[in-house]
């Protein structure tokens, strides 16, 4: 009898780590001890290393300091480069040892995510938030709903979505198309 071998990426990507997600400001992250524990539970031979530049675990450039970590799972290497950032995700001009170490740990988690574990956490983090609807767009959408005799509950939901940014300039046209087709 043969056993079907699972793709390790799929295995790690399906692992539910949501109970370990933490939030700092508007950013979600998986703390490094949880990422390492979950990875090593399933792949005990996984390894990683922080890269060094002239004997230092960071690289200094004209635009800031960076760290790089490579994680190896099942002989597959995934490397991630991460800027040295503060709690607000702003570049640190002259980082100290603690700040560099913190960035190495963040980088480790993201390199692990490249293997699948917790990858969903970082979806969209590289995209700037879409601006809210302007007054003209709001009126256009709400007028459409009123012309279609939508009940007050639907209009209130849409107004709430406009207010909390769920409907924004990035998806305004799709929202219009959605309600025009109803």
Q: Are residues 111 and 153 in the same domain?
A: no
Q: How many domains does the chain have?
A: 2
Whether 148 contacts 181, CB under 8 Å: no
Question: Is residue 128 domain-resident?
Answer: no
State residue 3's pLDDT score. 56
Q: Are residues 112 and 23 in the same domain?
A: yes
Domain membership of residue 139 as a residue range: 135-180
Whether the model clears a pTM of 0.75, i.e. scores above it, the answer is no
Tokens at residue 52, please?
């060094």
State residue 55's pLDDT score. 97
Chunked mean pLDDT (size 10), the chain, 182 residues = 71 88 80 96 97 97 96 97 91 96 97 94 67 90 87 85 82 86 71
Q: Are residues 147 and 118 in the same domain?
A: no
Q: Are residues 55 and 102 in the same domain?
A: yes
State residue 63's pLDDT score. 93
State residue 2's pLDDT score. 54
Contacts of 148 (CB under 8 A, 6+ apart): 179, 182
Q: Are residues 100 and 140 in the same domain?
A: no
- Pairwise CA distance, residues 116 & 9, whole Å: 5
Give the Å distances, CA to CA, from 139 to 69, 117, 148: 49, 43, 14
């Amino acid at each position: 009898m043969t056993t079907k071998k699972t793709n390790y990426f799929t295995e790690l990507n399906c692992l539910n780590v949501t109970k370990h997600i933490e939030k700092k400001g508007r950013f979600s992250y998986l703390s490094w001890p949880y990422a390492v524990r979950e990875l090593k539970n399933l792949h005990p031979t996984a390894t990683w290393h922080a890269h060094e530049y002239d004997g230092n675990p960071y690289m200094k450039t004209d635009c800031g300091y960076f760290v790089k970590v490579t994680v190896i799972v099942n002989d597959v290497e995934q490397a991630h480069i991460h800027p040295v950032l503060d709690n607000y995700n702003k570049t640190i001009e002259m980082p100290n040892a603690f700040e560099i170490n913190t960035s190495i740990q963040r980088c480790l988690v993201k390199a692990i995510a490249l293997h699948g574990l917790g990858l969903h956490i970082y979806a969209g983090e590289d995209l700037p938030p879409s601006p809210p609807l302007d007054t003209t767009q709001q009126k256009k959408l709400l007028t459409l709903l009123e012309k279609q005799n939508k009940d007050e509950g639907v209009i209130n939901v849409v107004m709430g979505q406009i207010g909390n940014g769920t409907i924004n300039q990035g998806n305004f046209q799709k929202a219009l198309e959605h309600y025009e087709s109803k």
